Amino acid sequence: MQDRVHRYFATTVGLITTDGEHGRNVMAAEWTMQVSYEPMLVAIFIHDSPTLWNIRGSGAFGVNIASDDQAELVNIAGGYSGTEVDKLAIPGTFETYDGKLVPMIKGCALNAECRVRSIRKIGDHVMVVGDAEAAAFDDKKSPLVYTRGNYRRIAGKLSSGRKVVRVAPSTFDAFKQMSGGQFVLKCAAALAEKDGKVLVAKFGRCWMAPAVAVERGQNYEAALSKHLALIGVRADVQGIAKLERLMLKSKGRALRANFVVYRCRAKGGEGRWFARLPRNIVLRSFFEKA
């Protein structure tokens, strides 16, 4: 394996605190992450060190996700071993508080006290998974990022890339109903053409490309084929024309909507076909070239 590849991952850095036979200690571990919501489990991947010895003895560890003003603390926690220096006793460095299980570090983006659930050797490190028994976060702190051997700040939030589409309140209600209360409306829509005309379907008081809500895990293409048959249109669903990731908005309300628009070859049957799109059509962009 190329020896520099590992540098191209980007991680946060956990300050892992422990207490036990080898004394109170802190180490830096970039391989720290939450691995289950419920129960909340946190995994750390560490080498054979005083941190691991303490964990084996006490069955507990603290995860303190370093904030971007704690790079120096990370250097100290990662630059010295507990066998060499009592890191937590260096004056003016780590500010700690007593957790229920272990000492914890102040000023971090997140603190979680974990009780060990599983310890397993994996490759050249040891995976320790713990149940988070207590967790707290500080919204004012931003996590430190570690990549390519450097510490970095999170530069800013990227746009979600969703296209904002404002719709009439009644249209919004129709979409909301379609979503069945889901956080994101997932839909398959048909772009069917026949003799220079396009297929549209009634949507509330307007028109729209025929569309059907898709349940989680359901195949979009199959759902659309079924829907077209249901509305009496004979058509082959041919392939994805485009994705439309939208933020539907109406009078202070918002709904995320993910549409997969399929090209369809119509063979007949019923349906409303228009040579020109009607004026009151919603999501007109579906019909525009991608």
**Looking only at residues 103 through 162 of this chain, which bind ligand FMN when binding is defined by CB under 6 A?**
125, 146
Is 31 one of the binding residues for ligand FMN (CB under 6 A)?
yes
Q: Which CB sits closer to ligand FMN, 72 or 95?
A: 72
**Residue 78 binds to ligand FMN (criterion: CB under 6 A):** yes
**CA distances for 114 relative to 55, 207, 242, angstroms:** 10, 55, 45
Residue pair 154/147 in contact (Cβ under 8 Å)? The answer is no
Q: How far is it, in rounded angstroms, from Cα 149 to Cα 276?
A: 58
Task: Report the residue number, 106 or 148, with the smaller CB distance to ligand FMN.
Answer: 148
Phi-psi region of 36 (alpha: psi -120 to 50; beta: other; left: phi over 0): beta
How many Å from the N-terminal Cα to the C-terminal Cα in the chain? 41
Q: According to CB under 6 A, which one of 15, 60, 74, 209 is a site residue for ligand FMN?
A: 74
The least distance separating ligand FMN from the CB of residue 283, rounded to whole angstroms, comes to 47
Q: How far is the CB of 168 from ligand FMN (least distance, A)?
A: 53
Residue 30 in the binding site for ligand FMN (CB under 6 A): yes
Written in H, E and C, the secondary structure of 144-193 is CEEECCEEECCCCCCCCCCEEEECCHHHHHHHHHHHCCCCEEEEEEEEEE
Of positions 29, 167, 187, 191, contacts ligand FMN by CB under 6 A = 29
Closest approach of ligand FMN to the CB of residue 155, in Å? 19
Q: Is 28 in the site for ligand FMN (CB under 6 A)?
A: yes
Cα 1 to the center of its chain, rounded Å: 29
Minimum Å gap between C-beta 27 and ligand FMN is 3
**CA angle (84 as vertex; 78, 86 as ends), nearest 5:** 80
Query: Which range binds ligand FMN by CB under 6 A, 45-53, 164-172, 188-196, 232-240?
Result: 45-53
Residue numbers at the binding site for ligand FMN (CB under 6 A): 13, 25, 27-31, 45-47, 49-51, 74, 77-78, 80-82, 125, 146
